[in-house]
Amino acid sequence: MSSLIEGYQYDIFISYRHNDNRSGWVTEFVKALQEELAATIKEPLSIYFDKNPHDGLLETHNVDKSLEGKLKCLIFIPIISQTYCDTKSFAWLHEFVAFNNLAQEDQVGRDIKLSNGNVASRILPIKIHDLDAEDKSIIEAEIGGMLRAIEFIYREPGVNRPLKLTDNKSDNLNKTDYRNQVNKVANAIKEIIAALKSPVVKTTRTAINQQLTTNSAWNKKVLLTSFALLFVVTIGYFVYQQRTTTNEQLPSLDKSIAVLPFVDLSEQKDQGWFGDGLTEEILNSLAHLKGLSVSSRTSSFAFKNKNLRIQDIADSLGVNYIVEGSIRKSGNGLRITAQLIRASDGFHVWSNTYDRDATDIFVLQKEIATRIAESLDISLDKKAIEQMQWAGTTSAEAYLAFLKGRELDDHAHERTRFIDLATLKRANHYYEESSRLDPDFVNPYLYHADFFLHYVLKDDPLYIDTLTDQQAYILFNKDLASAIAHSKEASQADYYRIPQTMYSNNWTNFRQVIEKGLSSEDAPRLFKYQNFDFSTLLIAMGYGKELAEISQKILVQDPSAGDASRTIIFNLLHAGKYEEVLSEVAKANLAPVRYGIDDYKLFAMIQLGKLDEAYELILQDPDQDYFTYYDLKAIILAKQGKFEEATDILKMTHRSSPFYLFAVNAVLGRQEANKEAAAMDKKILLDFPLFRSLFLAPNNLPYDLSATPNFARRLRQAGVAVPL
């Protein structure tokens, strides 16, 4: 039997794990549903249901091709159980995820408007178990919103099983009746079928492109204002630290301090990972103390392996005190020295030497931080002491495994043009070990996700792995879901939901997620280490004022917080205030280094027509292998009429620059920029230049929206007034 609507093979597809049908529950449900549908809907509906697993797809079959027709259905019903949300399972990967992607690309879309004005998804979940928090997060990450399901769950104290026809609803804590729940499913199907047969609004890709072409003049005005609403956030916020050097003195605060990375004095130079971890934990401990301004990790680690005077470092960071130390192997243990130095005269306020094992890192961190606080006459209450001790885990072994991964992670990001994915893969082994030792430790999940992100984005073109992009994307989302599920604070979980939503296929709840994160009292702490991807996302969505206010609060506590300064400058860039950008860069104490703020200073100069001056600045840069400078150079050369030189630059293989699409447009023309944008739009993760170019010049886009239908769909879901 074919579908009620032409172009579809089935009306309903039932997806389930075969283990959940051992007792025949799924078979009985399908039978009951067929009977209820026959009494509810006039036309007979076709249902695909793989009754016998032995008749299903085998290893020798082409899974994608075999399911391609079967998944072409109107409504997809997954039977959500305790085992369904297994991202490696057949049902999840080849049915649920495959349909979710397929439905968002077909002629009616995944989410449809009902006759009563409400919106329903063509994915109609049936839940037969209460889910673990991690499983719930996994499925919500995939659908891009809250899991709303019709429940067939029987509950008694200690009981969590599928509801049966023979169950008495009086005995069930849910008070649900099997027949009534089947009726709810049938009525929901009836509503969706009616909406599909008589659509309220057509949302086909063809209709969008036709409208964009027909009304190009009007569309341009709307799009150029509305596209400023979006930018992409990367998980690099968690793993990718900006580098800064110093060139101006900042105003010093009375009790202000910076913790420099502990120096590895071991003969083998193999204890750097421990020194970095100890440094960061001391820094985090001190950051909890009221009355003490603590320089950020980003700023302090900029001075790693640099032989500079304490006074010069303190002046650069705007602090009055410096903590420095060293690590050296001593027998089977470690000898750690630490000292607190008053920057004005180099006086050693306090110093000590400790002989400890690596597993004593938490005790050691607490002792050093406590002595520093006492030396600066800062009172320590019970709450402050508890906060000083919290590293996200109480397992020293789990934390040490995490630190070993972090060291490799830092090395992987040292490449100028590409991320070293092979090294990131090695780091992931340590993160997996850390998670095994303490499954509730959040940080390893976040760092573990970074490999899969860069893999999908092809940020290392030489790296080869057996993973498909789809598999890597699923594992990436699983890590994010795990981080959210194991977050100790609600505000932290809300914060992580921002990138989770950004990387999902559905932006319907995007604004609510952002606003919840911004409204938290913990926002200044959570947003302190944002990188440019994270901050520009919120600014592009229209939250620049709120984010600038948070950044100002951060700078009051830590004048050296470079990421907060960048956020303020991004807000000016987005508003097209290029002269103010140049002025703010000059004050921001951020020198022209790679990943630095001069990328945006140069772009502002180009926008202002200061081409010769900008080109000279590029030539003076000590790191001319960094890809953004190639694109900026190509733009300048094109604007100067030197198209042959500009074209040669664009022949280089790189796609991660935020200026890339501007360069293609300037050098090769808008048609080629549209082709590049279209290719980026087809990826599992929309490529970053697609978003960044929209943020950088909202009133002068380098490509047309008609070339990026996937991006257009997300914008509409986020409430942007994109014409259909």
Contact 135, 128 (CB under 8 A): no
- 187 falls in which pLDDT band (50, 70, 90)? very high
pLDDT in tens, 570-585: 888 888 999 998 988 8
Same domain? For 279 and 194 the reply is no
Residue 214: predicted pLDDT: 35
Domain membership flag for residue 18: yes
Average model confidence (pLDDT) across the chain? 79
Same domain? For 188 and 320 the reply is no
Domain membership flag for residue 57: yes
Same domain? For 53 and 165 the reply is yes
Residue 452: predicted pLDDT: 93
pLDDT reading at 285 higher than 70: yes
Residue 63: predicted pLDDT: 53
Same domain? For 271 and 160 the reply is no
Q: What is the mean pLDDT of residues 294-308?
A: 80
Q: DSSP states of 333-393 as a string?
A: EEEEEEEEEETTTTEEEEEEEEEE-GGGHHHHHHHHHHHHHHHTT----HHHHHHHT-SS-
pLDDT in tens, 587-611: 765 433 334 457 888 899 999 999 9
Residue 387: predicted pLDDT: 59
Residue 647: predicted pLDDT: 92
Q: How far apart are CA 128 and CA 536, in angstroms?
A: 41
Q: Which of 155, 132, 201 is nearest to 484 (CA)?
A: 132
- Window from 120-134, 349-363, 378-392 with minimum mean pLDDT: 378-392
- Window from 35-39, 95-99, 309-313, 380-384 with minimum mean pLDDT: 380-384
Contact 228, 700 (CB under 8 A): no
CATH number at residue 319: 3.40.50.10070
**Count of structural domains, the chain:** 2
Distance from chain centroid for Cα 392: 20
pLDDT in tens, 201-210: 433 333 323 3
Same domain? For 297 and 185 the reply is no
Same domain? For 169 and 40 the reply is yes
**5: how many CB neighbours lie within 10 A of its CB?**
14
Report the percentage of the chain scoring pLDDT > 90.
26
The Cα angle at residue 483 between residues 558 and 128, in degrees rounded to 5: 150
Type of residue found at 515: E
Domain membership flag for residue 117: yes
Q: How far apart are CA 320 and CA 333, in angstroms?
A: 33
Domain membership flag for residue 479: no
The model carries a pTM of 0.60
Domain membership flag for residue 335: yes
SS3 content of the chain, % helix, strand, coil (to 5): 55, 10, 35
Question: Which residue range(s) make up the domain with 167?
Answer: 10-203
Q: Give the range with max mean pLDDT: 30-34, 192-196, 529-533.
A: 30-34
Residue 4: predicted pLDDT: 86
Residue 427: predicted pLDDT: 95
Same domain? For 184 and 260 the reply is no
Q: How many CA atoms lie within 13 A of 206 on its CB side?
A: 3
Same domain? For 196 and 273 the reply is no
Same domain? For 275 and 361 the reply is yes
Same domain? For 20 and 142 the reply is yes
Residue 594: predicted pLDDT: 38
Domain boundary among 186, 203, 220: 203
Strand partners, 280: none
pLDDT reading at 226 higher than 50: no
Across 16-42, b (16+ Cβ under 10 Å) vs e yields bbbebbeeebbeebbebbbebbeebbe
- 225 falls in which pLDDT band (50, 70, 90)? very low
pLDDT reading at 254 higher than 80: no
The phi, psi pair for 656, rounded to 5°, reads: -90, -5
Domain membership flag for residue 167: yes
CATH number at residue 133: 3.40.50
Higher pLDDT, 61 or 161: 161
Residue 529: predicted pLDDT: 59
The token pair that represents 460 in the structure block: 């290392």
Same domain? For 360 and 292 the reply is yes
Residue 481: predicted pLDDT: 93
Residue 643: predicted pLDDT: 92
**DSSP letter (8 states) at residue 539:** I
- 251 falls in which pLDDT band (50, 70, 90)? very low
Domain boundary among 380, 397, 423: 380
Same domain? For 290 and 177 the reply is no
pLDDT in tens, 617-627: 887 765 555 67
Q: How far apart are CA 500 and CA 515, in angstroms?
A: 15
- Window from 167-176, 476-485, 659-668 with minimum mean pLDDT: 167-176
Domain membership flag for residue 42: yes
Domain membership flag for residue 358: yes
Type of residue found at 28: E
Q: What is the mean pLDDT of residues 4-22?
A: 89
Domain boundary among 342, 359, 380: 380
pLDDT in tens, 384-431: 666 555 667 888 899 889 999 988 998 888 765 678 899 999 999 999
